[in-house]
Structure 1
Amino acid sequence: AALTADHLARHCDFLSVGTNDLIQYAFAADRENDDVAYLYQPLHPAVLRTLKSMIEAARAAGIAISVCGDMAGDPFLTWILIGLGLRDLSMDPDRIPLVKAVVRGSTLVEAEALAAEALALDNEVAIGDLVRSRLGSRFAAELDGSAT
């Protein structure tokens, strides 16, 4: 469905993306299986580009798009999601205060610039380093112990 989001968006009232499943299916990597869990990479350029194309498809069709899953509740990843154009995030209630602190402590312009830089990179390690360098120093106290 992710690859045909532009077609689906013309026939739906909204799109909802389960990021855990998107990543798992994109890389055939069950994050619960220790043998292949290392392949589960939320910051992989393919994941970010797929999300960006889905967001653009929803916008072009004039419909809402939301995400759920671990990406939405990880402040490092939420910042990129917002920069990609997402505004509706569903996450575990325990993650809301941390994500809220990061979102309130940054600007949309900063998030969009970060997402643009991330999309220009060619691997998840470089993207992770970029995100950590931008967020780590600004939100060290809030992010201590964050998933990413």
Structure 2
Amino acid sequence: MRKAVGGHWMCMARTTDMRRATHADQAPQLRYVRTFGCDADLLWRLITRPEQLSSWLGPTVLSKTQYGGFMVVTRAPAEQTGIVTICDPPHYFRAAFDDPPHPASTVLVDVVPGQDGTYLILTHGGIRDSLLAQYDRLWMRALDRLGRVIAKHRRCA
């Protein structure tokens, strides 16, 4: 369930998306801000370890956590490949998503500890207009699944 509040869209999982799609550098970008009820270390593990990524994003193969190539099966038969270009654990990483023959799009993920949980800020930029809705669905669904994985971790703790 979504509700407009002060120009932002609020979701039950405390997502703010500021109309999610904006244009920067003449290419659309999507931006998501979520607050998760866990510590930053758990969130970092869930977004950077292949076995954890597979639990919410899709089956993942990662050659190296820092500066390594990756492949994620986002939905059969689609897959995303790319490379981690910047990584500063446990704060942020940037990855380039391949989109041959077009330029790669860029995903930047920030993990910010807060008083009421940990903020995940995900910005996906350089997206072709024709793929904007597809990526929006992908990220909204994936972040919802991440929230459910975190809730399971909290129940088991």
TM bucket normalised to smaller: under 0.3
TM-score, length basis structure 1? 0.26
Structure ranking higher in strand proportion: 2
Normalised by the size of structure 2, how large is the TM-score? 0.25
More helix by share: 1
